C-alpha cells in the first residue's frame, strides 16, 4: 500500500511540475477557446496575412509616384473696375483710384516632361497676365503659355527649373468602369490633396462644357482648385486631367469629370509641335435627328445628324450640302450624333478632300468636301 501511495505522489508531483513549466513558458497553450458548433465555417486570419491584405489594397504607392509631379497654379489678371465710370466712385475714392481690379485664381497642373511642360485646364490660366507655379517640394517658378485649346479646355505651360519630377503617362483607353483612381490637386488652396474613388462612367458627352467632350466620370472628390490636376490609376499613371464637377453646393457631390489622357496627349503634342491644334471644319450647323425633324425634311429616321444651317461660301456649301441633309458618314467613320460628327470632321486634314455620305428625300448620295481649318471658338461665336 505504501508503495502505491509513493507512486501516486510521485506522479502528481511530476504532473504539477509539468503544469508549472507550461504555465510559465507557454501560457497560451492553456488558454481556453470557445467551443464551436461546427455548423459555421470559420476563417482565422493571422496578423501577417491581415497586414498583407491592407498593403495590397493601399494606394499609397500610386500617390507617392504621382503627387510630386502635380503642381499648384496661381494665375493673376486685372479686369476693368465696373464702377470706375460712375460719379459716386470718383467722389468717394478720387481721380487716382485704380480703374483695374486685380484678380487671382487657383488651379492645378501636371508636369509631363523633364523639359518643364505642364498640362492644365485652359480655364485655369485664361486671360492671365502672370502665372506662378509651385511644386510640391516648395519651389516656385513663373510659367509661360505655350498654347491653349479652348475646344477641349486644355493648355500647355512651361517652367524652367532643374530636376523636375515627371509623371508617367497612362492609357485612358484601358480604363474600365470600377477601376480605382486618385484625384490629386490643390482644392480651395489648402495644399496638395489626394482623394480616392473609382471610374463611374466613360465617354460622357452632351454636358455642354467643351466643344469636344469624352469625359471620364469619377466619384473621387474634385473641388474648386482641383481643375487641371491629375487623375491617376492604381499604379500612379496619369489617365486624365480633372476639369469639372457637378454640384449644387460648389463642393464635391461625387460626380467629377476628367479629360482622358488619349485626348490630352494629342492636344499636348500638337501644341508643343505647332503652337496650336489644327482641326478640320466644313461650316455646317448640325442638330440631332429627331423624329419631328426627320418628318419635316422628309428623310428616313436613320442614324445620323441633320444639317439645319450651312455657312454661305464655306466648304460644305461649296460641296453642295444644304439644310435638311442628314450626314451619316464622314469618310469611313459612321456618324451617330453631333459629337460624333464634330469629332470626325475635326480629324480631317484641312485642304485634303474627304467624302460625306448624306441622306435626302431622293436617297443616299456621296459628296466630296474639302475641309478648311477650324476657326477659334471666339470667331465661331461671332
Q: Is 172 a catalytic residue?
A: no
**Number of neighbours of residue 144 by Cβ within 10 angstroms:** 10
How would DSSP label each residue in 148-177?
A: EETTTTEEEEE---SS---PPB--GGG--T
Closest CA to 356 of 317, 311, 300, 298: 317
State how far the Cα of 162 lies from the Cα of 164, in Å rounded to an integer.
6
**What is the H or E stretch that residue 3 is in?**
helix 2-25
Question: Of the residues 108, 227, 252, 325, which is catalytic?
Answer: 227
Q: Is 227 a catalytic residue?
A: yes
Question: Of the residues 153, 219, 233, 325, which is catalytic?
Answer: 153
State how far the Cα of 256 lies from the Cα of 65, in Å rounded to an integer.
22
What are the angstrom distances between the C-alpha of 183 and each of 24, 54, 223, 254, 272? 54, 21, 10, 12, 25
Q: Is 153 a catalytic residue?
A: yes
What are the angstrom distances between the C-alpha of 326 and each of 22, 298, 340, 346, 361? 89, 11, 13, 18, 10
What are the angstrom distances between the C-alpha of 5 and each of 13, 19, 369? 12, 21, 117
Long-range contacts of 343-346 (CB under 8 A, 24+ apart): 343/212, 343/214, 345/279, 345/280, 345/281, 345/282, 345/371, 346/212, 346/279, 346/280, 346/281, 346/374
What residue has cell string 476628367? 258
**What is the H or E stretch that residue 318 is in?**
helix 315-319
Show which residues are catalytic.
123, 153, 227
Amino acid at each position: 500500500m505504501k508503495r502505491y501511495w509513493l507512486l501516486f505522489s510521485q506522479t502528481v508531483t511530476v504532473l504539477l511540475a509539468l503544469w508549472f513549466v507550461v504555465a510559465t513558458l507557454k501560457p497560451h497553450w492553456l488558454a481556453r477557446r470557445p467551443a464551436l458548433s461546427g455548423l459555421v465555417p470559420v476563417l482565422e486570419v493571422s496578423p501577417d496575412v491581415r497586414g498583407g491584405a491592407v498593403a495590397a489594397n493601399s494606394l499609397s504607392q500610386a500617390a507617392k509616384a504621382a503627387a510630386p509631379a502635380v503642381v499648384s497654379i496661381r494665375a493673376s489678371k486685372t479686369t476693368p473696375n465696373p464702377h470706375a465710370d460712375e460719379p459716386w466712385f470718383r467722389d468717394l475714392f478720387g481721380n487716382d483710384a485704380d480703374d483695374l481690379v486685380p484678380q487671382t485664381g487657383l488651379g492645378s497642373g501636371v508636369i509631363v516632361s523633364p523639359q518643364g511642360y505642364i498640362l492644365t485646364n485652359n480655364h485655369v490660366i485664361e486671360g492671365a497676365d502672370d502665372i506662378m507655379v509651385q511644386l510640391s517640394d516648395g519651389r516656385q517658378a513663373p510659367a509661360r503659355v505655350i498654347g491653349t485649346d479652348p475646344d477641349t479646355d486644355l493648355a500647355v505651360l512651361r517652367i524652367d527649373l532643374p530636376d523636375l519630377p515627371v509623371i508617367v503617362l497612362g492609357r485612358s483607353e484601358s480604363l474600365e468602369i470600377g477601376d480605382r483612381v486618385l484625384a490629386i490637386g490643390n482644392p480651395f488652396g489648402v495644399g496638395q490633396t489626394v482623394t480616392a474613388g473609382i471610374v463611374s462612367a466613360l465617354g460622357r458627352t452632351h454636358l455642354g462644357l467643351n466643344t469636344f467632350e469624352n469625359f471620364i466620370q469619377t466619384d473621387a472628390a474634385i473641388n474648386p482648385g482641383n481643375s487641371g490636376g491629375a487623375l491617376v490609376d492604381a499604379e500612379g499613371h496619369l489617365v486624365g486631367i480633372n476639369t469639372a464637377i457637378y454640384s449644387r453646393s460648389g463642393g464635391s457631390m461625387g460626380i467629377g469629370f476628367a479629360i482622358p489622357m488619349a485626348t490630352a496627349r494629342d492636344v499636348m503634342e500638337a501644341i508643343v509641335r505647332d503652337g496650336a491644334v489644327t482641326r478640320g471644319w466644313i461650316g455646317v450647323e448640325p442638330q440631332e435627328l429627331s423624329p419631328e425633324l426627320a418628318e419635316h425634311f422628309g428623310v428616313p429616321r436613320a442614324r445620323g445628324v441633320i444639317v439645319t444651317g450651312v455657312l454661305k461660301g464655306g466648304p460644305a456649301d461649296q460641296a453642295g450640302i444644304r439644310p435638311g441633309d442628314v450626314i451619316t458618314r464622314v469618310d469611313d467613320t459612321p456618324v451617330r450624333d453631333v459629337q460624333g460628327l464634330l469629332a470626325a470632321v475635326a480629324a480631317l486634314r484641312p485642304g485634303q478632300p474627304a467624302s460625306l455620305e448624306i441622306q435626302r428625300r431622293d436617297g443616299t448620295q456621296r459628296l466630296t468636301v474639302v475641309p478648311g481649318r477650324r476657326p477659334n471658338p471666339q470667331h465661331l461665336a461671332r
